[in-house]
Chain A
């Protein structure tokens, strides 16, 4: 509502300042430094920008400030009755919303909270509107035919663009901070040595859980390894055939078809693993067949399906890299009498090797971070085993199960998900940075 009003004022300011610029030069726009619409934009900008900034900051900060005020007013009795200060705050907040009818003390504080909120909201609207009108007035007063309105407007637009681009930094920062704070919270409740070196993953909601990350890491690596063992040879050979042998007609049909595999959402692969591949493998390796496999969800199921998912990823990346190898290298080798496959194996592939390693590392990072396939296809048991037909679980699957369960958000069993997320983020980040570094360095080599 306030926002709409603000927009309205900005539009009015645009019309008014634009008209004024015309009036100042008696309708002859040649005498203005900038075109009239820039004067209008300048007015709109001053009316909208600062007020909008205040509106946003106020809306973000008000709940924090209000809960701090309420927090200061909590009595020890009240905290004891609710269990913890946070629970007491939640109770008060929900009472204020009318969602529940809290205790007497909570109702008192809730009434105060509602009152403060009303005052804050009114104040916010008033200040924002005054600021907006003030901005329009300043713009109106500043306008002269000599004023460089265009330059000022363009500079503000530049800042907007910079802000948009900086959102990437902000996102990374947000990820790191949200992971870090909750991870620290977790390590306050749970010994770090158990997390990093524990060999047992056994969350129990009554407390006293063993939350060792090693079995999860092992499951993750094992599944990723199988996925890469499927995806790398198939993807690489496809890329070689497509870029070195295939005619343009074959290439233009096969390549888009391969890319369809990349466009299929991971939930589809997950269901494919759960319903089709798992039972199929169970039929071959299960008790009716070879007797190696106990259930459809296993490392091999998830790894195989994930491998299928990664084929187009590996093949399109290696395709780019193989194409980047200069033709002169091939011509030289063929001119010496090598066959095409010898050229590829002994000249093209070694030249493309760093890039291909980079592509494989990117694929590995994809496999490690993949969630839906392992949630549906790999099973839920954390175990350290060499048998690919066993059910195992991964870091991502446990993040999902720990955060979607019924456990209290502040218990170590839920907070461990953030520590797992941190582990995952650190591993994939390291892989990505390294892989991107290799790929970029390699590209420069032949440019």
Chain B
């Protein structure tokens, strides 16, 4: 055994090796978590970006008053309009030198089934006798352009056949079919289960907006008031202890339990309307309150006692010291907590399931301020869940797209919170 200090004994070498192993393990754990984060973000971006473009088919239509009158008289009006679309489509294809080789009914499978209604809405509102339309392609055609649908996968599909795809290829070459940016996804409403191409997140976004308004309107004043009381006024007694224990526990109660509370109290007992953003907002308020009170108390506690003492010293009452001096100074910290709480509320899904915000097809924008609060609507995360449940893979793409929008909102809110903290935070 060597006795030089420069040579490490085998025991030291072993200890040092174990030290290195430990460090590597720690570093590995961090990179593993960051790897999970990266995988998640890649999954979101890779699966979701497709929802922001949509395949459209350009069709130039001409019509006359007579055919419109005839279509309006028929019982199934959109069927007649669909027929007109098929005719125009066929004419346009033949002009471009493509031979469709299929019946009108099959040809119409290329176009979304909402096309007839779209044409009718336009035709009945105008005096013109021709127009250029960009109808939504059906979700299978859209999937083909996005690589989700292949000829092999259509073998047993009754909604589209491989022959259609040959047509789509020819139409693309002729410039009739194109993927465009999908504004309807951001601003439009949900569609029925068979028309994923027409579904959008806009209406549920409005629902989420009203819900967050309710949370802001209720949780901000109540949360700040509770925090002020507990931090500044509360005597040390049983009631205060009870309140504090309750707040700490409520912050950790599973969110779904708040959904049960909302169902039993707001809907079963108080008979508030089901699926309404008002009820959703109230449930989320109850859930968010403890998560607002805790940081608000920390912000109030961070204001040094010298401020209070100075105010009291020049003759302010205790209330005046708090409301005129401590509260304004702690406001940035409180608002940061409120915004983060609201961001959590915006992304929360489970309680909304129980008060009926899924299963409802949110296809129309609310028509006023009050109906925005009380009319049935969905919310962004609830809409995403609804889409994830539907069988069609086109809806899965939309669910991911919805997640991109949801995360964009959450990031914006967190960004505001960080800026607020950086800009106004004072170190004492």
- A residues at B contact (CB < 8 Å): 60, 63, 150, 154, 157-158, 160-162, 164-169, 171-172, 174-175, 178-179, 181-182, 233-238, 240-242, 244-245, 254, 257-258, 260-261, 263-272, 274-276, 308, 311-312, 315, 339-342, 344-345, 362, 365-366, 368-372, 375-376, 396, 399-400, 403-404, 409, 417-418, 421, 424-425, 428-429, 432-433, 436
Known: A169-B242, A257-B34, A258-B34. A404 touches B358 (CB 8 A): yes
Task: Decide yes or no whether B419 CB sits under 8 A from chain A.
Answer: no
Which residues in B have their C-beta under 8 angstroms from that of A342? 15, 19
The answer to whether A339 touches B225 (Cβ under 8 A) is no
Q: How far is the CA of A389 from the CA of B143 in the complex (A)?
A: 31
Known: A171-B261, A399-B260, A424-B256. A267 touches B30 (CB 8 A): no
Q: How far is the CA of A170 from the CA of B286 in the complex (A)?
A: 10
Among A271, A424, A432, find the residue whose CB has the most chain B CB atoms closer than 10 A.
A271
Which residues in B have their C-beta under 8 angstroms from that of A175? 253, 257-258, 260-261
Q: How far is the CA of A236 from the CA of B26 in the complex (A)?
A: 9
The answer to whether B222 touches A167 (Cβ under 8 A) is yes
The answer to whether B407 touches A268 (Cβ under 8 A) is yes
Q: How far is the CA of A245 from the CA of B26 in the complex (A)?
A: 9
The answer to whether B257 touches A424 (Cβ under 8 A) is yes
Binds A, one of B108-116, B177-185, B398-406: B398-406
Q: How far is the CA of A162 from the CA of B399 in the complex (A)?
A: 43
Task: Decide yes or no whether B310 CB sits under 8 A from chain A.
Answer: no
The answer to whether A264 touches B407 (Cβ under 8 A) is yes
The answer to whether A271 touches B350 (Cβ under 8 A) is no
Which residues in A have their C-beta under 8 angstroms from that of B318? 154
> Which residue of B43, B225, B349 contacts A265 across the interface (Cβ within 8 Å)?
B349
Q: Mark B235-246, 1 if CB is under 8 A from A, else 0.
A: 000010011001
> Which residue of A261, A308, A344, A375 contacts B22 across the interface (Cβ within 8 Å)?
A344
Among A169, A267, A404, find the residue whose CB has the most chain B CB atoms closer than 10 A.
A267
The answer to whether A169 touches B243 (Cβ under 8 A) is yes
> Which residue of B230, B234, B250, B359 contacts A171 across the interface (Cβ within 8 Å)?
B250
Which residues in B have their C-beta under 8 angstroms from that of A257? 34, 37
The answer to whether B256 touches A371 (Cβ under 8 A) is yes
Nearest CB of chain B from residue A379's CB, rounded to whole Å: 14
Q: How far is the CA of A369 from the CA of B251 in the complex (A)?
A: 12
The answer to whether A396 touches B347 (Cβ under 8 A) is no
The answer to whether A429 touches B34 (Cβ under 8 A) is no
Q: How far is the CA of A276 from the CA of B403 in the complex (A)?
A: 14
> Which residue of A161, A269, A365 contacts B225 across the interface (Cβ within 8 Å)?
A161
Which residues in A have their C-beta under 8 angstroms from that of B399? 271
Nearest opposing residue in chain B for A151, CB measure: B317
The answer to whether A369 touches B246 (Cβ under 8 A) is no
The answer to whether A341 touches B19 (Cβ under 8 A) is yes
Which residues in B have their C-beta under 8 angstroms from that of A418? 260, 264
Q: How large is the interface on B (under 10, 10 to 19, 20 to 34, 35 or more residues)?
A: 35 or more
The answer to whether B15 touches A421 (Cβ under 8 A) is no
The answer to whether B270 touches A168 (Cβ under 8 A) is no
Known: A167-B222, A233-B29. A270 touches B256 (CB 8 A): no
The answer to whether A372 touches B226 (Cβ under 8 A) is no
The answer to whether A234 touches B33 (Cβ under 8 A) is yes
A166-B243, A236-B29, A265-B381 are known; give 18 further A-B pairs, CB within 8 A: A164-B221, A164-B223, A165-B234, A166-B239, A174-B261, A178-B265, A237-B26, A268-B44, A275-B43, A339-B18, A371-B353, A372-B349, A399-B260, A400-B353, A418-B264, A421-B256, A432-B252, A436-B252
Nearest CB of chain B from residue A366's CB, rounded to whole Å: 8
Which residues in A have their C-beta under 8 angstroms from that of B246? 168-169, 171-172
Which residues in B have their C-beta under 8 angstroms from that of A174? 261, 265
Q: How far is the CA of A243 from the CA of B111 in the complex (A)?
A: 59
Nearest CB of chain B from residue A311's CB, rounded to whole Å: 5
Which residues in A have their C-beta under 8 angstroms from that of B225? 160-161, 164-165
> Which residue of B229, B349, B359, B410 contacts A164 across the interface (Cβ within 8 Å)?
B229
| 20 examples of A-B residue contacts, CB within 8 angstroms | A60-B270, A150-B317, A169-B243, A179-B257, A234-B32, A241-B23, A242-B30, A257-B34, A266-B348, A266-B350, A268-B406, A270-B388, A271-B388, A271-B403, A311-B36, A339-B16, A365-B254, A375-B385, A428-B252, A432-B249
Q: How far is the CA of A421 from the CA of B359 in the complex (A)?
A: 22
Known: A341-B18, A342-B15. A267 touches B347 (CB 8 A): yes
Q: Mark B345-359, 1 if CB is under 8 A from A, else 0.
A: 011111001101011
Q: How far is the CA of A241 from the CA of B322 in the complex (A)?
A: 42
The answer to whether A311 touches B343 (Cβ under 8 A) is no
Nearest opposing residue in chain A for B414, CB measure: A263
Task: Decide yes or no whether B216 CB sits under 8 A from chain A.
Answer: no
The answer to whether A240 touches B26 (Cβ under 8 A) is yes
Which residues in A have their C-beta under 8 angstroms from that of B289? 167-168, 171
Which residues in A have their C-beta under 8 angstroms from that of B307? none
Which residues in B have their C-beta under 8 angstroms from that of A399? 256, 260, 354
Which residues in A have their C-beta under 8 angstroms from that of B263? 403
Q: How far is the CA of A396 from the CA of B350 in the complex (A)?
A: 9
Which residues in A have their C-beta under 8 angstroms from that of B374? none
The answer to whether B260 touches A417 (Cβ under 8 A) is yes
Nearest CB of chain B from residue A107's CB, rounded to whole Å: 20
Nearest CB of chain A from residue B281's CB, rounded to whole Å: 15
The answer to whether A165 touches B26 (Cβ under 8 A) is no
Which residues in A have their C-beta under 8 angstroms from that of B261? 171, 174-175, 178
Q: Mark B1-38, 1 if CB is under 8 A from A, else 0.
A: 00000000000000110110011011111101110110
Nearest CB of chain A from residue B83's CB, rounded to whole Å: 38
Q: How far is the CA of A171 from the CA of B15 in the complex (A)?
A: 55
The answer to whether A365 touches B319 (Cβ under 8 A) is no
Task: Decide yes or no whether B51 CB sits under 8 A from chain A.
Answer: no
